[in-house]
Amino acid sequence: MEKRVVFHGKLLPFLLLAPQLLVTLIFFYLPAGQAVWQSFLVQDAFGLSTEFVWFENYQILFAKGEYYRTMLTTAIFSSLVAFFSLSIALLFAVQADKHIKFATGYKTLLIWPYAVAPAIAGVLWLFMFQPSLGLVSQAIRAAGFEWNPLLDQNHAMALVVMAATWKQISYNFLFFLAGLQAIPKSVIEAAAIDGATPMRRFWTIIFPLLSPTTFFLLVVNIVYVFFDTFGIIDAATQGGPAKGTETLVYKVFSDGKSGGDLGGSAAQSVVLMVIVIALTAIQFRYVERKVQY
Amino acid sequence: MSDVRLDAVRKVYPGGVEAVKGVSLEIADGQFCVLVGPSGCGKSTLLRMVAGLETISGGTCAIDGKVVNEIEPAERDIAMVFQNYALYPHMSVYDNMAYGLRNRGTPKDEIDARVKEAARILEVEPFLARKPKALSGGQRQRVAMGRAIVRKPKVFLFDEPLSNLDAKLRIQMRVEIKKLQRALKTTSIYVTHDQLEAMTLADQLVVMNKGQVEQAGAPLDLYEKPQTIFVAGFIGAPPMNLVTVPEAGLPGLTLIERPAGPVVLGIRPEHLHEQPMGPDTLTVEIVVSAVEAVGAETYLYGALHGHGPELIVRVPGRATHAPGQRIRACAEASQLHFFNPQTGRRID
């Protein structure tokens, strides 16, 4: 029998929920509502007059080629980060799942980057790869490769991908490790007796059994790359050079703050909001069902 | 043709715990060998060493005359049935059974024939397309067995395969495993903590305790002539009565013939009877404290002479005894077992 606490009267439950509801309302629903409202407005450059324009901001946004370019940049950036952070984290987790010496220390070190703030991570990688002074840059140059993320868009992209990947590996690692440890040891042993080589064991047993974790992480990683990498990009490249690393979320910031186009920027953030809602819906709908065995 | 021979096999875990302390065993071709013992006695470790899932710290394990200590599990030509079945949850029943054959590069039509044959024998044909989670415990157990038999291995290893099933299914599967093993004539090693399962399945019964073999032999030999106090207490349900009798004897207990010095006297509940039957050597007086009627028989629990060691007496059919009643029970000389209280070994 399930035991349930029954509250007589309605005041106490409401009081208990109130703090969380307030936080959600003030910090999530209110700004979201404001963004939607603002996306229908156009303000003059001095903020003196405001006009309600319905969907004009959106029409302008989707009429311009540069928004699609930013979408492409975001797509490239997020697939690279998701692919590398997932595969590297999986590799690390498989290693950590084996009985190795200093396993605890190994795991702790792997988890550290997650505690680093995005902007600091960006600065860290910026310093390491700064063309003239960076330690890594000097090594790369010494090897005869002309490395310059300040001028070359591909180099800049590589830099922010590395920084964003590095930061996300910890998170993925933790989930993969937990996922691996949830696979019964006897299933792996049965496969070993069934004559599967370690490689085959991984691809035919472990990887399919991890698929719910992998799918969950894929969605979480995409959300991460879409939004939380703002700090990294701002600190490392500021979307440059020549907007080569400008992602959707960074464009919201640069158009709104530097460009002064509040309505257009709000419209962009509403588009982002729709994307994240869609991703969350996919996750809720499928993570429990489709990807299970 | 494949026998298993263990020679002074030891398992020492890092940290110095010795789980298996030198076990030597010979399992003949086609024999059904059951390892039984309390949890932590090393029986599962021993089985896993034969499987190759644990390294062997000392001694040798040979399958079919070939030492396999350094050989991978896959190369040992064994199949194992796990306690939790260890089915591949993302594969259908068919794929579960075919997996081992595919890994070995068996031709497709042969895989198909073998899987269907195994499915027929184990009566899982209707479920071949299902995933394990859509099966009941008993059906999963059959699939796990099927996965073992399709490979036609030299040795079957069973690690407590029935302990996750309910009592009724357990008895049914026990009989089926026995029949299957008889039909296939495959050498088998079976680990269990259930002495009844052990008694009914084994050709050779091996009782283990604290990492060592206490006694190995035919099940009824172990029942009739336990070589140690541990085996005497472990084999048989309810367990054998074991009473330490000092040189001077015990009040309420009369022994006509006995070895000299203090001994541990063993007498099974089923060998104590209320009516004297000819030349009884042992007579005990018991004050009944509890009565357990199980239908075909009744067990009387009581203390010797009212406050001595606890004894169990089996009475056939229904009994009219009541707690507090004083009874007298006797046993013949041939049913008595004597053990040395120091060494724990049998005195003949």
Q: What is the pLDDT of residue A293?
A: 47
Partner-chain contact B89 A191, CB within 8 Å? no
- Name the region of B252 (left: φ>0; alpha: ψ -120 to 50; beta: rest): left
In angstroms, the separation between the Cα of residue A203 and the nearest Cα of chain B is: 12
Q: pLDDT tens digits for B216-237? A: 999 999 999 999 999 999 998 8
Domain B4-229 falls under CATH 3.30.565.10: no
In a domain, A216, yes or no: yes
Task: Judge whether A206 is closer than 8 Å to chain B, CB to CB.
Answer: no
What is chain A's alpha carbon radius of gyration, rounded to the nearest angstrom? Answer: 23
In this predicted structure, the answer to whether residue B203 has a pLDDT above a threshold of 80 is yes
Q: What percent of chain A has pLDDT over 90?
A: 14
Q: pLDDT tens digits for B34-77? A: 999 998 899 999 999 999 999 999 999 999 989 999 998 888 89
Q: What is the pLDDT of residue B220?
A: 93
In a domain, A192, yes or no: yes
Q: Are B158 and B174 in contact (CB under 8 A)?
A: no
Q: What is the pLDDT of residue A117?
A: 79
In a domain, A187, yes or no: yes
In this predicted structure, the answer to whether residue B24 has a pLDDT above a threshold of 90 is yes
Domain B238-347 falls under CATH 2.40.50.140: yes
Report the side by side order of strands in the sheet with B32-36: B78-81, B155-159, B187-192, B32-36, B204-209, B212-217
Q: What is the pLDDT of residue A45?
A: 65
Higher pLDDT, A3 or B85: B85
Partner-chain contact A189 B103, CB within 8 Å? no
Partner-chain contact A193 B100, CB within 8 Å? yes
**Residues of B in Cβ contact (< 8 Å) with A195:** 74, 100, 103-104
In a domain, A5, yes or no: no
Find the CB nearest A194 among B53, B90, B100.
Answer: B100
By CA distance, what is B48's nearest residue in A? A189
**Mean pLDDT, chain A, as a whole number?**
82
Find the CB nearest A293 among B131, B147, B151.
Answer: B131
Find the CB nearest A195 among B80, B100, B131.
Answer: B100
Q: pLDDT tens digits for B87-133? A: 999 999 999 999 999 998 889 999 999 999 999 988 888 999 999 99
Q: What is the span of the domain harbouring residue A121?
A: 60-286
Q: What is the pLDDT of residue B227?
A: 94
- Supply the CATH number for residue A272's domain: 1.10.3720.10
Q: What is the pLDDT of residue A289?
A: 57
In a domain, A9, yes or no: no
Number of domain units in chain A = 1
In angstroms, the separation between the Cα of residue A153 and the nearest Cα of chain B is: 44
Partner-chain contact A196 B103, CB within 8 Å? yes
CA dihedral over A283, A284, A288, A290, signed as positive or negative: negative
Interface test mutation site (partner A, options B45, B49, B53, max chain A beta carbons within 10 A): B53
Q: pLDDT tens digits for A85-110? A: 999 999 988 888 876 667 777 777 77
User: B82, B84, B109: which is closest to B98 by C-alpha?
Assistant: B109
SS3 for B264? strand
In this predicted structure, the answer to whether residue B1 has a pLDDT above a threshold of 80 is no
Partner-chain contact B89 A189, CB within 8 Å? no
By CA distance, what is B105's nearest residue in A? A195
Q: pLDDT tens digits for A159-212? A: 888 888 888 888 898 899 888 888 888 999 999 999 888 889 999 999 999 988
In this predicted structure, the answer to whether residue B302 has a pLDDT above a threshold of 50 is yes
In this predicted structure, the answer to whether residue A236 has a pLDDT above a threshold of 80 is no
In this predicted structure, the answer to whether residue B158 has a pLDDT above a threshold of 60 is yes
Residue with tokens 């009941």: B136
User: A210, A219, A215: which is closest to A275 by C-alpha?
Assistant: A219
In angstroms, the separation between the Cα of residue A181 and the nearest Cα of chain B is: 15
Q: Chain B residues with CB-CB distance to A under 8 A?
A: 51-53, 72-74, 78-80, 82-84, 86-91, 99-100, 103-104, 131, 133, 147, 151
In a domain, A165, yes or no: yes
Q: What is the pLDDT of residue A35?
A: 84
SS3 for A258? helix
Q: What is the pLDDT of residue A127?
A: 82
* ipTM for the whole complex: 0.83
Q: pLDDT tens digits for A131-173? A: 777 788 788 887 777 777 777 888 888 888 888 888 888 889 8
What is the domain partition of chain B in residue ranges?
4-229, 238-347
CA dihedral over B50, B55, B61, B66, signed as positive or negative: positive
A143 token code pair? 């090897």
In a domain, A144, yes or no: yes
By CA distance, what is A200's nearest residue in B? B103
